[in-house]
Structure 1
Amino acid sequence: MLSRILSITSMICLFASTAHSGKFTVSETPKNMGKQVNSTVNDFAPAVSPDGSYMIFNSNRNGKYQDLFISYFRDGSWSVPEALAILNSPFNDETPFISSDGRFLVFASDRDGSMELRGSEPGQVMVSFDIYWSENLNGQWTPPEPMPGQINTAHHERTPSITPDGRLYYTRWLFGDSSRTVLLEAENVDGNFVNPRPMAGPFNTGYRDVGLIPARDLKGFFFASNRADSRGMFDLYFVSFENGKYGEPVNLGDKINSTANEMYLTRADQRYYISSNRDGGIGLFDLYSAFVFAKEANFETRAIHFDYDKADIKKESYPYLDALSAFLKENSDIRLEIVGHTDLQGADEYNSKLSLERAESVKKYLTGKGLGEERFKTTGAGKTQPVVKKTGKGFDELNRRTEFRIIKDK
């Protein structure tokens, strides 16, 4: 099984989207994901698939320990979460992260087989949190295995993430001292993650920086910290990473952060997802989400749905389009080309016509919200620009999408 992890770097790079140095613009405050998703206890660390079709998170709703749960986004809403039995142990399984191609999952666990530490009492053994990985094969996750290499120790390794170029980031808590954390990075060499080292630059400077998550279409990372300018105990930050150098961390502001704790920001399909224990929640930590757009980068979505074989927009698409409208009103200098894409089924001419009609429907909706027609151009790409050159379930959904391209003045 370890041989499969050799392909992590190459597979992730194959499917990774182009990174842009666009500004991260919070378009609306996060909304509680509701009783359909959240419980009366802890729901934490949302990891969302690249296409936004499912989410994995940890919760102790089934008892004393944290388990991993999965929820699917269907017909405009999230399904009731189900425990992932193949991944869960009798102990804690937490802080999942999904790779940018959706094929690999990494998470932390103190299950049997994790590194052990002798206790202060005779015969006492304490088990640490280690990092584990699993692969999605034909829609099923494989039994987890410890991360190969030099990652796991007798201390706590948690909040792992992997970048498209195969670097591993994670947090280490010193055993018995939860106030001392270190952010580390390691590299993939022949299928083993080696040379773990504390991160330099703006990290590990006396603050508790945790949960470093790659920003999929921006050059940088999101993370949580109790830095001096945080509004609560932990706030969410963005830090740029270009040409091998980190910028100064930027607090994401009071549109997303509260006077409580916000942690573990992930993004997919122009939505961001966080964990928070802010006032007004359902449980202790709840999951929240909202729309977000990058001001200087092209983007695409599969959140706009149409009636079968028609250009009529389904009502479940309205929240996305309303958020986009609000974003465009706040940024009056942005002009967009709306490009419709179909799957590879059907005749070329028919798909080109249908994709253009759907792009026109999106334009009509946005102009109906008070945006000027001169801000939009429409194009029907049909099936000429597929994400994947395959047909069938899963592939068709990837290819059916609406793309928004920034129109730059010459």
Structure 2
Amino acid sequence: MKNLYSTLFILLISITAFGQKAEIRKANKMFAKRAYVDAANTYEKVVDKDQEVLQNLGDAYFYTNQMEQAVDVYQMLFLRHEANTAPEYQFRFAHALRAVNKQDKADEYMSAYTGEDINYEDFAKKMDTVNKHVYTTNQIMNNSASADFGISFYNDRIAFASTRNQERPIYPWNKKPTLDLYSAEISDDGELSDIVLFSENINTDQHESSATFSQDGQVMYFDRTSEDRVKNEDDVKVAHIKLFRAEMVDGEWDNIEALPFSSDEYSTEHPSLNADGTKLYFASDMPGSHGSFDIYVVDVNEDGTFGEPENLGTGVNTKHREQFPHISKDGVLYFSSDGHQGYGNLDVYRSEGDFTEAQNLGNTVNSGHDDFAFVVDEENSKGYLASNRRGTDNLYAFSREDYVPPVVDYDDRETNLETGRQQLRDVGNIYFDFDKSTIKKESEPTLDKVVAIMNKYPELQIEVGSHADARGSDKYNMGLSERRAASTLEYLVENGIDRSRLTSKGYGETMPLNDCTEPTGCTSKQYAKNRRSEFTIMNNE
């Protein structure tokens, strides 16, 4: 009988091991095809995760912006296999740590990767002294169902890319439909209306995005993923991205042709046309690039032909990603990079003149997540960008003002990583019970910190901004948030802060910190995160 049990036990172990190997093979195929969502779900079923599984699982979470999960997996990878893990995982681990605001640990791994002393606090303090502008950003729409990015100016409208067309094939990378190009009207408040799908001449079952237009609106450049798949160095078939040109003919986009320097062997993407239509900036990983993707420029000749693409050089480009160029009417180049020192993942930078230096735009634009597809109307100091700081790619509108040194020292202020607004350091938000505006006892220490800092800086002015969750009508929640703001302000006044230094504003349910935008579908804890008062620094001089 003992031998029988031993035999059955060995058989069970063998069956389990065989099943685990089958799951790993299945997940590896998904990962190789960049089906990261499915790959992560399958890797998670593996009980005994070896180094390869941990590497791929961490990357699958990283590439789908699930940074908390990526940090957990990368941490296990380095705990078990640090001596044998390639440096590229240090780079991604550091960026994942930036996204979850674990800066000291991120410094450790980024320093190990670069061989340099990387110090986030020193970088952030330096940015305080060199920024040219302060940006105020607001999300254009709360849209967790689709990914939206890449706004461009299009006559008196805007164009953007979105996964909202449910008739398109599902892209395995993120399990969302392939991208289409849309145009829309946009109000001064950043509200989109009259959203119109570009014609079938432009949109296909492949990805289309990143449109840029001539000043007269008669010529458009955009990118499209190729239908043809080409084997890469890992012997996996991948589709590269090409640039296309279209002309407006009798009110329709026609004469659509791939640009001659596009190829099935590499990608060309994210075009941006300068004001007089003579130069086209774009990103590419073509041979001769310094890294993953570089920024290039090519002359557009009067006869419609093109010169030879020129790499902008190491002042802009690194061995990592430089993408989403935008050349403003004033000739300033804006682009996104994860290779220059920044706040984490893709940050927006500017460069001008001979493009020998790149300047980070600072933490009023950039977060620890991807911030990209920045465009600006410099004459009116307004523009748009995209960011996945709240989970999915979303559109943001911004206004900007000239930077002046803030009234509060760096050590007493910080940028809210979820809203991009300046707030008091180590203070945070206070929270409310459901359908209540009463200050909770547990909130008093936080409010007392606000009082102490305002006493330290007599010129400091604060906005108390209060919010509601998505349960209840819009009108009711707006009133509820206003009552929460008022009760928060009154606590500060009762504790000695002059009323003239405070403003209160209710935002209703319009600015959630997560994707809980409907009255059902989230946990109580998730809804509770949005029932809050925030303390925003309002004066910078």
Provide TM-score, normalisation by structure 2.
0.43
Cα 1:117–1:151 change in 2 (3 A) is same
The equivalent residue for 2:213 is 98
Pairing partner for 2:257 from 139, 145, 150: 145
The equivalent residue for 1:292 is 400
Matched, 1:168 2:280: yes
Does the 8 Å contact 1:133/1:144 carry over to 2? yes
Cα 1:233–1:75 change in 2 (3 A) is closer
1:148-190: CA deviation from partner (whole Å, max 9, x where unpaired): x334442111111222251222111369x9x711322222243
The equivalent residue for 1:254 is 363
Q: What value does the CA root-mean-square deviation take over the aligned residues?
A: 3.2
The amino acid of 2:222's aligned partner reads: F
Pairing partner for 1:67 from 169, 172, 180: 180
Distance 1:101 1:221 in 2: 21
The equivalent residue for 2:513 is none
Q: 1:10-409 alignment to 2 at 5 Å?
A: 26-35=133-142, 38=143, 40-49=145-154, 53-63=156-166, 64=170, 65-73=178-186, 77-86=191-200, 87-112=202-227, 117=230, 126-137=238-249, 139-142=251-254, 144-147=256-259, 149-163=260-274, 164-173=276-285, 180-189=292-301, 190-216=303-329, 218-241=330-353, 245-268=354-377, 269-279=380-390, 284-292=392-400
Distance 1:233 1:48 in 2: 26
Point out which structure has higher relative CO (alpha carbons under 8 A, 6+ apart).
1
Distance 2:286 2:221 in 1: 20
Q: Which has the higher strand share?
A: 1
The amino acid of 2:163's aligned partner reads: N
Distance 1:75 1:209 in 2: 31
Does the 8 Å contact 2:185/2:193 carry over to 1? yes
1:290-317: CA deviation from partner (whole Å, max 9, x where unpaired): 123579xxxxxxxxxxxxxxxxxxxxxx
Cα 1:74–1:128 change in 2 (3 A) is same
Secondary structure in 1 aligned to 2:307?
A: strand
Distance 1:200 1:165 in 2: 22
The amino acid of 2:206's aligned partner reads: F
1:247 Cα offset (Å): 4.2
Cα 1:294–1:162 change in 2 (3 A) is farther
Does the 8 Å contact 1:171/1:181 carry over to 2? yes
Cα 1:100–1:39 change in 2 (3 A) is farther
Runs of 5+ in structure 2 lacking a partner?
Answer: 1-129, 171-177, 404-541
1:289 Cα offset (Å): 0.5
Distance 1:41 1:228 in 2: 29
The amino acid of 1:286's aligned partner reads: N
Q: Which protein has the larger Cα radius of gyration, Structure 1 or Structure 2?
A: 2
Runs of 5+ in structure 1 lacking a partner?
Answer: 1-22, 296-410
Cα 1:222–1:120 change in 2 (3 A) is closer
The amino acid of 2:140's aligned partner reads: M
Secondary structure in 2 aligned to 1:48?
A: strand
Does the 8 Å contact 1:236/1:252 carry over to 2? yes
Cα 1:94–1:75 change in 2 (3 A) is closer
1:285 Cα offset (Å): 0.4
Distance 1:264 1:120 in 2: 29
The amino acid of 1:45's aligned partner reads: G
Provide TM-score, normalisation by structure 1.
0.55
Distance 1:110 1:75 in 2: 33
Distance 2:258 2:138 in 1: 35
1:56 Cα offset (Å): 1.0
Cα 1:138–1:195 change in 2 (3 A) is same
Cα 1:146–1:230 change in 2 (3 A) is same
Cα 1:209–1:74 change in 2 (3 A) is closer
1:138 Cα offset (Å): 5.7
The amino acid of 2:351's aligned partner reads: V
Cα 1:276–1:154 change in 2 (3 A) is same
Distance 1:291 1:121 in 2: 45
Does the 8 Å contact 1:151/1:196 carry over to 2? no
Secondary structure in 1 aligned to 2:383?
A: strand
The amino acid of 2:180's aligned partner reads: D
